[in-house]
Structure 1
Amino acid sequence: MQLRAYLRLFVDALKLSRVNNLVIIASTQYLSALFIVGHPSEYVSIALDGKLFALVLSTVVIAASGYYINDYYDIKIDLINKPSKVIVGRNIKRRPVMLAHQTLNALGIGLGLMVSWQVGVVNLICAFLLWWYSNQLKRLPFVGNLVVALLTGSTLLILGVYYGHYDLLLVVYAFFAFGITLIREIIKDIEDKDGDASFGGVTLPIAIGVRRTKYVLYVLMVGFFVALNYFLYRLDSLKMTGYFLILALPYLHFLLLLVRADTKIAYSRLSNYCKWLIVAGIFSMVILNI
């Protein structure tokens, strides 16, 4: 019986840390190191690089810490927006969640310092921004969305800090992750506006309304698409351009679904759609190197 309780606690802890997202983060960093920064002759040495492993692990544990503190502060809001998924305060008490957040942050910063002082400083800044986001920024229009998008892009750019140089291709993938995440975060705010408004949140949909927020999304999507094509032009890679032109089809489909969306379920599906767009974009690293 006790074993079952511990097992349930472990499963709840994994759910709280969004383990699926953590797998995507770790996979993205390793694929980027292998296929963007590295060369075929270096694949084995990159895969066995202990410092790279420490960097990836530090990113993952700080991200998990961010999810913990976010749910810690959002208990009342989540009881309105997603009552069936609330874990903090129900399955796991609040104090252990805060302790886990602090422990994971310390571990992530420590691992970063083992890699280099620069990585350690970046991890410290990211940990602080995740706490600030959960505590205040997410309740402000657009600011919280922008911070999360920047942090998502930084999971790729930190490889440039580690290797000491930034490849344009790495910047393109970081920009792709940033753009889709920014769009997704605003859509999530539309989905969660009722709970956010109940507890004093002033997110973009609350500040200017859902209709105008959708206009903001249209502008962002067009601007993002134009900017991405400029980067692809600078790369001058036929395979890369071809892949992202194919990816433009589901992107257009996503835009059409956004125009029609008018229910919480529709926005939830669009949020998941964004996640799959990110996965498809990152997967191109493998496809284009076969």
Structure 2
Amino acid sequence: MSLVRFENALFGALTIFLSGILSSDISGHIFEYGLASISVVFLGMGFFAVNDYFDFEIDRANCRTDRPIAQGKIKRKTALYVGVASLILSFLVSLGLNQIVSLLLIFNAVLFFAYSYYLKKIFLVKNIIMAYGFLSMILVGTLVSDYVIEALIFYYAIMGFIVGLAFEIMIDIRDMEGDREFGVQTLPLRTSSGFAASVFVILYVLVMILDPLPYFVNIDSLLYHDFFFLILIMIPVIFYIFISKSLLRDMSKSNVGRLRERTINVMQLGSLAYLFGYLL
């Protein structure tokens, strides 16, 4: 479970359903959304396992206690078998979906494998690919039943990209030691941890502005001037403020590790705010 980061893979699957709800596409297509979610779970599990397979030396250098290969708890070959098997299962399940979604999921599997193998070493490419991962899951969720990308989904996908980009930059601050040793080019290594933290904060300030914007701008009629949605969405916005202040104050490996977990939880809160604001 630690190897495949099942909870993160499951969050990707829930994003599929969330996107289907926000686009009003899920009604009458529960089976297709179930298939898409299963495919995404296997895709996420495969990516995380393969990524750990290629990253075991870097993770060992970074003293990653959350990575079972680096801790010697799982053999590398086992991780590779689990990863490849999960990616194959994701591909097989995706064949039951429409052609666009199936091709998109297959493209993601190939891209994420290439990311784990080499692309992550290229400056900013690793950050952009991971941010794309956030965006693509949202788009997949609206394309399951039709080929229309609604305005709210497009807006939500853009926010997902920004959040993912900032999140990966923050993680790079924690992993500087191992990245430097193994030639992974990241923003904090090219500049400094302080500069990378500032970029993170700038991106999250943008998210703080964008998150409640559907209340003020008529992107979707169900969220426009919905005071309940505004109250809900301000909760993750306030947490983002505290996370940003904490990162600027303390960029140590231990603090970034704690902020990583908090940020994931706040992302989930933001998703729930949109969901409940839309439904209630």
TM-score, with structure 1 as normaliser: 0.85
Q: CA RMSD in A?
A: 2.2
Structure 1 residue 277: Cα displacement = 1.5
- Kept in 2, the 8 Å contact 1:133–1:144? The answer is yes
- Structure 2 letter corresponding to 1:32: S
CA distance in 2, matches of 1:207, 1:196: 11
Structure 1 residue 83: Cα displacement = 4.3
- Structure 1 gap segments, 5+ residues each: 1-13
Change (3 A) 1:231 1:125: farther
- The question of 1:55 aligning with 2:40 is answered no
2:8 corresponds to which residue?
21
- Kept in 1, the 8 Å contact 2:16–2:141? The answer is yes
Deviations 1:143-165 (A, max 9, x none): 21111111112111112221222
1:238 paired residue among 213, 221, 225: 225
1:210 paired residue among 167, 189, 193: 193
1:9 corresponds to which residue?
none
CA distance in 2, matches of 1:196, 1:228: 32
- Structure 2 letter corresponding to 1:216: V
Change (3 A) 1:286 1:83: closer
Q: Alignment identity in percent?
A: 23
- Kept in 1, the 8 Å contact 2:121–2:184? The answer is yes
Change (3 A) 1:286 1:159: closer
CA distance in 2, matches of 1:246, 1:154: 25
Deviations 1:159-204 (A, max 9, x none): 2221222222222332333222221111111001111111122111
- Kept in 2, the 8 Å contact 1:193–1:205? The answer is yes
1:87 paired residue among 68, 82, 104: 68
1:220 paired residue among 203, 208, 224: 203
CA distance in 2, matches of 1:145, 1:203: 9
- Structure 1 letter corresponding to 2:81: L
Task: Tell me which moved more, 52-61 or 108-117.
Answer: 108-117
1:267 paired residue among 245, 249, 256: 256
2:91 paired residue among 106, 109, 125: 109
Change (3 A) 1:70 1:54: same
Q: By percentage of residues, which structure has more helix?
A: 1
Structure 1 residue 279: Cα displacement = 0.6
CA distance in 1, matches of 2:80, 2:19: 32
2:53 corresponds to which residue?
72
Aligned length: 271
- Structure 2 letter corresponding to 1:253: F
- Structure 1 letter corresponding to 2:115: Y
- Kept in 1, the 8 Å contact 2:16–2:138? The answer is yes
Structure 1 residue 99: Cα displacement = 2.4
SS for the counterpart of 2:96 is: helix
- Structure 2 gap segments, 5+ residues each: none
2:152 paired residue among 164, 169, 183: 169
Deviations 1:198-255 (A, max 9, x none): 1122111111111221232233223344455555524261223443234322222222
Structure 1 residue 38: Cα displacement = 4.1
